[in-house]
C-alpha cells in the first residue's frame, strides 16, 4: 500500500476563513468530523447531567429533589439527548474523519451538504434543551414518544418533534454523503472487499439510516397532526390506534439500535487486529454478519411491545426472529476473540476499551436474549432489568467503542500522544463504575422495580443507593477524558509517529500525524 502524501499543510491554504468563520463555513471533512465529535461530547455531558439528576432523586426512597412530572422529563430528555445528540453524531464524526482517510478519498462526496448536516444539529439541540423552559416543560412521554402521552402533552412535545425532524434530516444527508463517498471515491485498487471493516459497517449503517429515519419522521409528523390538525392516527376515539404508533416507532427503533452499535463493531474490528498484531480473523464473515444483522433488524421490532397485546403467533414469530440475531452477533464476538488468539497483544487504552467492550457488550447481548423470550419479557417489561440491558449495550457497547476509537485515532488526528496513564485510569474507573451503576439494576428489575418512576419501596433502597454512587463515579470519571483531551490538544504529549501503533494497518497510517488539511488529492494506489 502506497500513499501519495499531500505536499502542503495549513500554510498553503490560507484562503479559507479563519477564526469562527472557518468552522461555520468549513467543507473540510476533518473540520466537520471535529465539529461532530465536539458536539457529541458536549451533548454527552448534557445528557449525563440529566442522568445524574435522575440518580440523585433515586438515591433514597421517597421524594427529595424533583416533582414526578419533572422526573419524567429528565428520563425522556436523557434518552433523546444521548441517542440523537451524543451517540449518533459521535459515530458520524468518526465517519467524517476516518472514511475518506481509510479509503484514500480527498474528502466527502458532497462537501457543502456535509457542512449543512452538521450545522442542523446545534439548532435541534437548542430546541431540546429550551423545551425544559416552555409551559409544561419538556416532553415527558419517554424517548419513545408513545401516543397517547405524546398527543396530550404541552408545547415541549412540539419542540421535541421539530428537533427529531431536524436531526433526522441531518442523519439522512450524512448517510447519503457516506454511501456516495464509499461507493464512488475509493482509491484505485480498493475493492469493496478490501475496505477496512469500519468503512463496511458504516456503509451498512448508512443504508439502515436512510431506510428508517423517514419512518420516524412520519411517526412524529402524525403525532404533530394529531395534536394540532384534528387527525386521529393514534386516537381510538377518532378511529385511530395508539398501538399503531408503537409498531411504527419500533420499526424505526429496532434498526436504530443497530445503527448505534454497528459502527462500534467496526471500530472494535480496527482496534483488535492492531493490538493483537494479527489480521482480523474471518474478515468476510464479519462483512456477511454485519449485513445479516442489518437485514434481521427489520424483522424483530415487535419484541419491544410483547405486552401491548398481539396474537400468540406474532409473539412467537418475533421471539424466534429475535433469538436468531444472536447467531451473526456471536460470529462477530467469536471472530474478535479468534483474532486475539495467539496474537502478541499489548493493552494500550484503545485495546482496553475494546476488550472491555467485548466482555460487557456480550453480557448486554445475553440479557437481550433473556428479554427476547416472550413469557420472560412479559414479566420484565418496563422493569430495571430492561434499563440494565440497554445500558449494557449502549454504554458498554457504543460508548466504550467510541472511547476506544477516540484513543486509537486521536494521536493521528492531533499529532500528539495522549497521556497513557490517564487513559488507563479513565478506562478502569469507567469499567468499574459502569458495573457498579448498572449491574444492581438486574437484581432490582428481577425483583420488579418499575422503570421511569421517581419513588420506590424500601426493599430496593440498598441497590438504588449503590447505583447512584456508581453513576456519580462514572460521571466524574469522564472528566478525566476531558482533561486528557485538553492536555493532548494543548501539545503536552510526545509527537506521534505516522503509524502511531506498531501493528496498525491501513491508508490513514501512511499519512503524517496530524494529517495535512487536504489529503489524498492524488489517490493512493492500493495493491
- Which residues bind to other proteins, rule: CB under 8 A? 105-106, 184-189, 191, 193, 282, 284-285, 288-289, 291-293, 295, 299, 312-313, 316-317, 320-321, 327-328, 331-332, 523
Cell of 247: 409498531
Q: How far is the CB of 193 from other proteins (least distance, A)?
A: 5
State phi, psi for 514 to the nearest 5 degrees. Answer: -70, 155
Q: How far is the CB of 376 from other proteins (least distance, A)?
A: 17
Cell of 190: 480498493
**Is 170 labeled as catalytic in the residue annotation?**
yes
| Cβ nearer to other proteins, comparing 217 with 289 | 289
In angstroms and rounded to an integer, the radius of gyration of the C-alpha atoms of the chain is 23
Q: How far is the CB of 365 from other proteins (least distance, A)?
A: 14
**Is 269 labeled as catalytic in the residue annotation?**
yes
**Is 26 labeled as catalytic in the residue annotation?**
no
Any bridge partners for residue 495, and if so which?
A: 416
Q: How far is the CB of 134 from other proteins (least distance, A)?
A: 44
**Is 78 labeled as catalytic in the residue annotation?**
yes
d(CA 204, CA 263): 9
| Cβ nearer to other proteins, comparing 237 with 313 | 313
Which of 443, 433, 303, 455 shows the shortest CA–CA distance to 383? Answer: 443
**Angle between helix 262-276 and helix 283-296 axes, rounded to 10 deg:** 160
**Is 391 labeled as catalytic in the residue annotation?**
no
Q: How far is the CB of 104 from other proteins (least distance, A)?
A: 10
**Is 452 labeled as catalytic in the residue annotation?**
no
d(CA 372, CA 296): 14
d(CA 486, CA 72): 35
CB 497 within 8 A of CB 271: no
Q: How far is the CB of 317 from other proteins (least distance, A)?
A: 5
Cell of 93: 464524526
**Angle between helix 262-276 and helix 400-414 axes, rounded to 10 deg:** 60
Distances (CA, A) of 215 to 69, 150, 231, 246: 29, 17, 18, 12
Choose the catalytic residue: 57, 107, 158, 348.
107
The alpha carbon of 389 is separated from its chain's Cα centroid by a whole number of angstroms, namely: 15
**Is 362 labeled as catalytic in the residue annotation?**
no
**Is 171 labeled as catalytic in the residue annotation?**
yes
Q: How far is the CB of 288 from other proteins (least distance, A)?
A: 4
| Cβ nearer to other proteins, comparing 236 with 327 | 327
| Cβ nearer to other proteins, comparing 102 with 387 | 102
Choose the catalytic residue: 30, 186, 303, 391.
303
**Is 527 labeled as catalytic in the residue annotation?**
no
CB 488 within 8 A of CB 416: yes
Which of 361, 367, 362 shows the shortest CA–CA distance to 384? Answer: 367
**Is 226 labeled as catalytic in the residue annotation?**
no
CB 428 within 8 A of CB 403: no
- Conformational region of residue 341, where left means phi above 0, alpha means psi within -120 to 50, and beta covers everything else: beta
Active site residues: 78, 107, 143, 170-171, 254, 256, 258, 269, 303-304, 329, 332, 451
Amino acid at each position: 500500500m502506497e500513499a501519495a502524501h499531500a505536499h502542503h499543510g495549513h500554510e498553503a491554504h490560507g484562503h479559507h476563513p479563519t477564526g469562527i468563520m472557518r468552522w461555520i463555513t468549513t467543507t473540510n471533512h476533518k473540520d466537520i468530523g471535529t465539529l461532530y465529535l465536539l458536539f457529541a461530547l458536549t451533548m454527552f455531558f448534557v445528557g449525563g447531567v440529566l442522568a445524574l439528576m435522575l440518580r440523585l432523586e433515586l438515591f433514597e426512597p421517597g421524594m427529595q429533589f424533583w416533582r414526578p412530572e419533572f422526573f419524567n422529563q429528565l428520563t425522556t430528555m436523557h434518552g433523546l439527548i444521548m441517542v440523537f445528540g451524543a451517540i449518533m453524531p459521535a459515530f458520524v464524526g468518526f465517519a467524517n474523519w476516518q472514511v475518506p482517510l481509510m479509503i484514500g478519498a480527498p474528502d466527502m462526496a458532497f462537501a457543502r451538504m456535509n457542512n449543512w448536516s452538521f450545522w442542523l444539529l446545534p439548532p435541534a439541540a437548542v430546541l431540546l434543551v429550551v423545551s425544559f423552559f416552555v409551559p409544561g416543560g419538556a416532553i415527558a412521554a419517554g424517548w419513545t414518544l408513545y401516543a397517547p402521552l405524546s398527543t396530550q402533552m404541552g408545547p415541549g412535545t412540539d419542540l421535541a418533534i421539530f428537533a427529531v425532524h431536524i436531526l433526522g434530516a441531518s442523519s439522512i444527508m450524512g448517510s447519503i454523503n457516506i454511501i456516495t463517498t464509499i461507493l464512488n471515491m475509493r482509491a484505485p485498487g480498493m475493492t469493496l472487499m478490501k475496505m477496512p471493516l469500519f468503512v463496511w459497517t458504516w456503509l451498512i449503517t448508512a443504508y439502515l439510516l436512510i431506510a428508517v429515519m423517514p419512518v420516524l419522521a412520519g411517526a412524529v409528523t402524525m403525532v404533530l397532526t394529531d395534536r394540532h390538525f384534528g387527525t386521529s392516527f393514534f386516537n381510538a376515539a377518532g378511529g385511530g390506534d395508539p398501538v399503531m404508533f408503537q409498531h411504527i416507532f419500533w420499526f424505526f427503533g429496532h434498526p436504530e439500535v443497530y445503527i448505534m452499535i454497528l459502527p462500534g463493531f467496526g471500530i472494535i474490528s480496527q482496534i483488535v487486529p492492531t493490538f493483537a498484531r494479527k489480521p482480523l480473523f474471518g474478515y468476510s464473515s464479519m462483512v456477511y454478519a454485519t449485513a445479516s444483522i442489518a437485514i434481521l433488524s427489520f424483522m424483530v421490532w415487535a419484541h419491544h411491545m410483547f405486552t401491548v397485546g398481539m396474537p400468540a403467533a406474532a409473539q412467537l414469530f418475533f421471539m424466534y426472529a429475535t433469538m436468531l440475531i444472536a447467531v451473526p452477533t456471536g460470529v462477530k464476538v467469536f471472530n474478535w476473540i479468534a483474532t486475539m488468539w495467539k496474537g502478541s497483544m499489548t493493552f494500550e487504552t484503545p485495546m482496553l476499551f475494546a476488550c472491555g467492550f467485548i466482555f460487557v457488550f456480550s453480557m448486554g447481548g445475553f440479557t437481550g436474549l433473556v428479554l427476547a423470550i416472550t413469557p420472560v419479557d412479559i414479566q420484565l417489561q418496563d422493569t430495571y432489568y430492561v434499563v440494565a440491558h440497554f445500558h449494557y449495550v449502549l454504554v458498554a457497547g457504543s460508548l466504550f467503542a467510541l472511547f476506544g476509537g477516540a484513543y486509537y485515532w486521536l494521536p493521528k488526528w492531533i499529532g500528539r500522544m495522549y497521556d497513557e496513564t490517564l487513559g488507563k485510569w479513565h478506562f478502569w474507573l469507567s469499567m468499574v463504575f459502569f458495573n457498579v451503576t448498572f449491574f444492581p439494576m438486574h437484581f432490582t428489575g428481577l425483583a420488579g422495580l418499575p422503570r421511569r418512576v421517581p419513588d420506590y419501596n424500601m426493599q430496593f433502597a440498598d441497590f438504588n443507593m449503590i447505583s447512584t454512587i456508581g453513576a456519580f463515579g462514572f460521571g466524574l470519571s469522564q472528566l478525566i477524558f476531558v482533561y486528557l483531551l485538553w492536555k493532548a490538544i494543548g501539545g503536552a504529549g510526545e509527537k506521534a509517529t505516522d503509524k502511531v501503533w506498531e501493528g496498525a494497518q491501513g491508508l490513514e497510517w501512511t499519512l503524517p500525524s496530524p494529517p495535512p488539511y487536504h489529503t489524498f488529492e492524488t489517490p493512493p494506489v492500493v495493491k
